[in-house]
Structure 1
Amino acid sequence: MNSRTLNSRTLNFELNKQEIKMELNSFFEFMQSLKMYDLTQPLSIHTPPWPSYMPLGIQYFKRIAGAHSGQGANGQIITTSNHVGTHIDGEIHFFASGRSIGQVPMEEWIGPGVVVDISDSVNDYDLYSPELLMQKAEIKKGDILIINTGYHRYAWDQPESDELRYFVKHPGPDPSFHTWALDMHLKWIGVDCGSADHPMNTIIRNWHPGSFNEAEQKLIAKYGKTWDEMFPPEEYYQVMHLKLFPKKLVHAENLGGDIDKISNKRVWIGLFPLRGIELESSMCRIMAWEP
């Protein structure tokens, strides 16, 4: 190898290093310019779990108790179910042969998506359809889909807090929604209310017969069908859980936080659960980033 060739290779190497450095600087500048949104509901002992689940409990097992005496640190014990506040339902929550939360690669929790705001189009017990969502925002195959029903305004931490409305009366998917979600190959779904299923397609129907009667009368007035005619129980009971989890399509519930700030926008979304190998579900932090 002559000196000219060696000098040329050295020069190319130095130029490549400069290009890489410039690309890194551009990347960091871009990341610093991103707007970050927290779509997570605050967590407290006052945060209600899904009905019948264990709530969050927190107690101290050690306290600082003085600078030069006592135990010298604060420590707490937490007892809770996995379904308190913002959480992701895992596959094995309803499908015993599925993956636990800790077995799912982080790549499946992060990616492009859209926050679709239908809050001006739905009310108590209403149904939302794929067509309604697609009218509001661009939804692409493979997206993370977050649905803003507006019912986060009834969460425990809000001025209009209404636990019954939040868990028992929130809108839910129409009969076609679950098959559309699979056809779209959605990564995961998020909702700002108590469940991704309509509450009247869950055990809540039996626990609140008065509310079920209200929901059915509203359905008959709008569609001319009883609830069981519209949603045959053998097909639609917990359909968003029972039929989607075996297909690796899970959902997060009880979103809130900054969700109204990114209505009908395409954003980069990340969900960060505990890496629990045995966990059927997990409380989590959900973030979105916008250029």
Structure 2
Amino acid sequence: MTLIDLTRLLLDDTPVFPGDSAMTLKQTRNLDEDGYCNHELTINMHTGTHIDGPMHMTDSRTFISDMPLERFVGKGCVLDVSGQREIDFKPEYETIVEENVILLLHTGHGELFGQPQYFTDYPVLTERFAEWLVRKKVKMVGFDTPSPDKDPYAVHLTFMNHGILIAENLTNLDRLLQTRSFEVFALPLRIRADASMARVIARFA
């Protein structure tokens, strides 16, 4: 069994989406001085690798903690869409993407994580592709970018209005491109919020 970590490491200087509050991670207790170690984290739910729930941009009253666990675990599927500025539907996807999968999109943009253009010059999904994914009944869509779209966030709304979760700021998706079959475990904190940081891993034999 092989496990691939698709999660960004959280550090004190982890970059956040422009306009979001900064994250801080500091050690508050030291073994030599206090007899134990402790760390304190101040973070908004959309920092690093995280999952957006429907409450993020709609009037849904469903917190991410209210969602059933099976929504965060499932058969995975990855598409190599690297080099595309606008990610659109292609006919061959009909046979590649099955219903109820967790779909991961490798754009290659994740290589820019930590640089300013990561948050400003990322590829986006078309509304047509988003609507097709709704018809395919995918559980979740994840990518190595900070967002599937830009203002006015029509793709976000399409997904959230149809119960599709969104996983942002993934990494290591290139390591799945040659894998025929894998599972995805994308578990958020059990937190009463619109979204949550998550540990996302892929597992295959």
| TM-score, normalized by the shorter chain, greater than 0.5 | yes
SS in 1 for 2:55: helix
Amino acid at match of 2:196: S
Distance 1:178 1:264, change over 3 A: farther
The residue correspondences of 1:182-221 to structure 2 (distance < 5 A) are 182-197=134-149, 201-202=150-151
SS in 2 for 1:92: helix
CA contact (8 A) 1:117 1:264 kept: no
TM value normalised by structure 2:
0.92
- Equivalent residue, structure 2, for 1:92: 55
Gaps of 5+ in 1: 1-33, 157-161, 203-236
- Equivalent residue, structure 2, for 1:259: 173
- Equivalent residue, structure 2, for 1:282: 196
- How big is the shift at 1:50? 1.2
- Equivalent residue, structure 2, for 1:109: 72
SS in 2 for 1:270: strand
List per-residue Cα deviations over 1:39-91 (Å, max 9, x = no partner).
111211222111111122022332223xxxx4211112211111111110111
Given candidates 161, 174, 185, the residue that maps to 1:246 is 161
- Equivalent residue, structure 2, for 1:53: 20
Question: Aligned-pair RMSD on alpha carbons?
Answer: 1.8
- Equivalent residue, structure 2, for 1:31: none
- How big is the shift at 1:38? 0.7
User: Over alpha carbons, which structure has the higher Rg?
Assistant: 1
Distance 1:40 1:249, change over 3 A: same
Count of residues in correspondence between the two structures? 204
List per-residue Cα deviations over 1:2-41 (Å, max 9, x = no partner).
xxxxxxxxxxxxxxxxxxxxxxxxxxxxxxxx11111111
CA contact (8 A) 1:113 1:139 kept: no
- Equivalent residue, structure 1, for 2:41: 78
- Equivalent residue, structure 2, for 1:270: 185
- Equivalent residue, structure 2, for 1:38: 5
Greater helix fraction, Structure 1 or Structure 2: 1
- How big is the shift at 1:189? 0.4
Gaps of 5+ in 2: none
SS in 1 for 2:122: coil
C-alpha separation in 1, matches of 2:7 and 2:116: 18
Moved over 4 A (4+): none
Amino acid at match of 2:202: A
TM value normalised by structure 1:
0.66
The sequence identity of aligned pairs, in percent, is: 26
C-alpha separation in 1, matches of 2:10 and 2:123: 23
Greater strand fraction, Structure 1 or Structure 2: 2
The residue correspondences of 1:161-180 to structure 2 (distance < 5 A) are 162-164=115-117, 166-180=118-132
